[in-house]
Amino acid sequence: MAIRPIVSFPDARLKVVAAPVTAFDAELARLAGDLLDTMRAAPGIGITAPHVGVLLRVSVLELTRGEPPRTYVNPAIVWASDERMRHAEGSVSMPGATEEVERHARVRVRYQDLAGGFFEEEAEGLLAVCHQHEIDQLDGVFWLQRLSKLKRDRVIRRYEKARRAAGV
């Protein structure tokens, strides 16, 4: 497997809706492995194929080291609770920038595995937040778009200032 370059904010590819995966083959398995390696190196707890410039509906989550990472192909939220929660979010495409985002507290996600099999998963708490965050990214919705304009502008200013200070 390999660590791939991460697409950095504000790259336009982060606003593109990813295409459904139709080929469940060795190339898809290789992509999933590369996503895991790239996410761990970033470091992060979730990543999508668009984060590495591949516009396919694939996400990888590893909320806790030691637990098996999970790959979700063509994930979609099929149910969301009315109950909401707030959680700090960020992105591997915008390292160091975080802000609280309000999301559904529980969701049900339909997805495929690397072999093309169909599954559903109920999630709550951090896992529910991560599913919503990564599926948003697959839908071309960067996490900043979930913030008010005031908060979004503040996060972008802090991020740009940190990048300038780092000489990036």
- Does residue 6 lie within any of the structural domains? no
Q: Per-residue pLDDT tens for 21-32?
A: 999 999 999 999
Structure token pair of residue 129: 């937040």
Give the percent of the chain with pLDDT over 70.
100
Sort residue 12 into left (φ over 0), alpha (ψ -120 to 50) or beta: alpha
Residue indicated by tokens 């470091």 = 43
- Does residue 18 lie within any of the structural domains? yes
pLDDT for res 57: 98
- Does residue 7 lie within any of the structural domains? no
Task: Using CB atoms within 10 Å of the CB of residue 143, give its burial: 0 to 12 exposed, 13 to 18 middle, 19+ buried.
Answer: buried
User: Average pLDDT over the chain, rounded to whole?
Assistant: 96
For 71, the domain range is 12-166
Residues 6+ apart with CB under 8 A from 13: 7, 50, 53, 55
CB–CB of 61/39 below 8 Å? no
pLDDT tier for residue 45 given thresholds of 50, 70 and 90: very high
Query: Which residues are annotated as catalytic?
Result: 134
CB–CB of 49/72 below 8 Å? no
Statement: residue 168 has pLDDT above 80:
no
CB–CB of 54/46 below 8 Å? no
pLDDT for res 62: 97
Structure token pair of residue 50: 């668009």
What is the Cα–Cα distance from 55 to 52, expressed in whole angstroms? Answer: 9
Average pLDDT over every residue of 12-20: 97
Give, for 20, the enclosing helix (H) or strand (E). none
- Does residue 3 lie within any of the structural domains? no
Considering the entire predicted model, what is its pTM? 0.95
Q: Per-residue pLDDT tens for 147-162?
A: 999 999 999 999 999 8
- Does residue 1 lie within any of the structural domains? no
Q: What is the CATH number of the domain that holds 33?
A: 3.90.45.10
User: How many domains are contained in the chain?
Assistant: 1
pLDDT for res 163: 87
CB–CB of 138/73 below 8 Å? no
Give the percent of the chain with pLDDT over 90.
92
Q: Per-residue pLDDT tens for 53-95?
A: 999 999 999 999 888 999 999 999 999 999 999 999 999 999 9
